[in-house]
Amino acid sequence: MTEDHGASTRTSLSERADHFRPTGDEDQLLPQLVAHLREHRTKLRQEWAGRIQDSGLLHAMTPQEMADETTSVYDNYVGVLETGSVEALQRYARDLSERIIPRGVETHEVVGIVLLLRDVLARSLFEKYQRDFGLLNRVLDAYEPAANRIANTVAVSFVEERERIIRQQQDSIRELSTPVLPVRERLLILPIIGILDGERARQLTEQLLTGIRTHRAKVVVIDITGVPDIDESVADHLVRTVDASRLMGASVIITGLSPLIAQTLVTIGVDLSKMDTIGDLQGGLEVAERLLGYTVTRDVGMGGP
């Protein structure tokens, strides 16, 4: 166990860990330390919880949740000090992150509470060993690398979990993708919602052009009401898509350009002469219907607005 502990501190942490070598004497220090922390568990945990509250961290959690989580973190923390293995802590940290990330807990809060615990425990060690300075030094030598490793593990687990969630969300956005919907014979609409990046623009082109072919579309309405902003290359791509659609015999009407996008298009000097734009989707559909020769009439007797 000590071998394992020594090896991993050497590889993972501070320079201090490099000249920390467990000797026969120090082998006894960590167990002693763990026993001390176990003994004063309630008091230290409460002190820690108090410090967390004073720092204004984790205000997204209720006091009961806070008490539960701080107990678990404390036990896991001491567990790592005892066994030198961070695997259980890693699992716990991932699990915890999964629960608290949706609640809006930030990275600095998680790192903050772990560092606070490190601090609280270190202070209690100061207090216990203050009379024997040499011993205190050796105790800290044993404690600090392990504590650093714990802080590191928790932070990394949290960030990894966060990145995993981001990746997952990106995937689901991509899967939402861009539906090509036939609304009338030979009339397609493409509602685009969300950020239009290069990858998605390519996908859009592909789906639009094949959609024109399969549905024998003559008019396509692309509604970009839900697009917050586009950059130059995407705007350019959009213009090309409109042009390519025309080569396939379909007219494209773009609707729902936000003021911001309109400004962007004008500022970057995209050639807009090939783009037919109408203010909103409703207007776009009306124009499309007219182009296709549809006349829509409302039967007054049937009610409606």
Partner 1 sequence: MTGGPKLVSILRQGAYLIASVHTALDDSQMVRFRDDLVEQIGRHRSRGVIIDVAALDVLDSFGARTLRTIGELARLRGAVTVIVGIQPDVAFAIVSLGMSTGSLVTALDLEEGLALLDHGVGAGRSTLPDRRRPRR
Q: What share of the chain is helix, strand, coil (3-state, %, to 5)?
A: 70, 10, 25
Compare residues 112 and 283 and give the one whose CB is closer to partner 1: 283
Q: Which two tokens mark 270?
A: 């995209």
**Cβ pair 162, 93 in contact under 8 A:** no
CA distances from 286 to 182, 251, 295, 297 (A): 15, 14, 9, 12
Residues 250-269 that bind partner 1 (CB under 8 A): 250-251
Q: How many residues bind partner 1 (CB under 8 A)?
A: 25
CB of residue 225 to partner 1, shortest distance in Å: 20
Separation in Å, CA 239 to CA 112, 205, 266: 49, 10, 13
In the complex, the smallest distance separating the C-beta of residue 264 from partner 1, rounded to whole angstroms, is 20
- Pick out residues in 191-210 that bind partner 1 (CB under 8 A): 205-206, 209-210
Residues near 244 by beta carbon (within 8 Å), at least 6 away in sequence:
205, 209
| 248 lies in the site for partner 1, by CB under 8 A | yes
Tell whether residue 31 is a contact of partner 1 (CB under 8 A).
no
Q: Could you give the CA distance from residue 45 to residue 19 in angstroms, rounded to a whole number?
A: 31
Q: Are strands 187-193 and 181-184 parallel, antiparallel or unpaired?
A: antiparallel
Out of 273, 295, 297, 302, point to the residue binding partner 1 (CB under 8 A).
273
CB-nearer residue toward partner 1: 11 or 273: 273
Smaller CB separation from partner 1, 165 or 287: 287
Q: Pairing relation of β-strands 251-255 and 219-226?
A: parallel
Closest CB 259 distance from partner 1, rounded Å: 20
Please give the torsion angle defined by the CA atoms of residues 43, 46, 48 and 51, in that order, rounded to the nearest 10 degrees: -130
| Binding mask of the shown chain, residues 208 to 247, with x at each position contacting partner 1 by CB under 8 A | -xx-xx--xxxx--------------------xx-xxxxx
Between residues 154 and 278, which has the closer beta carbon with respect to partner 1? 278
Using CB under 8 A as the criterion, what x/- string covers residues 286-305 for binding partner 1? Answer: -x--xx--------------
The DSSP bridge partners found for residue 226 are: 193
Phi, psi of 11 (to 5 degrees): -80, -30
The nearest distance, CB 160 to partner 1, in angstroms, is 39
The minimum distance between CB 8 and partner 1, in angstroms, equals 54
Q: Which chain residues interact with partner 1 by CB under 8 A? A: 205-206, 209-210, 212-213, 216-219, 240-241, 243-251, 273, 287, 290-291
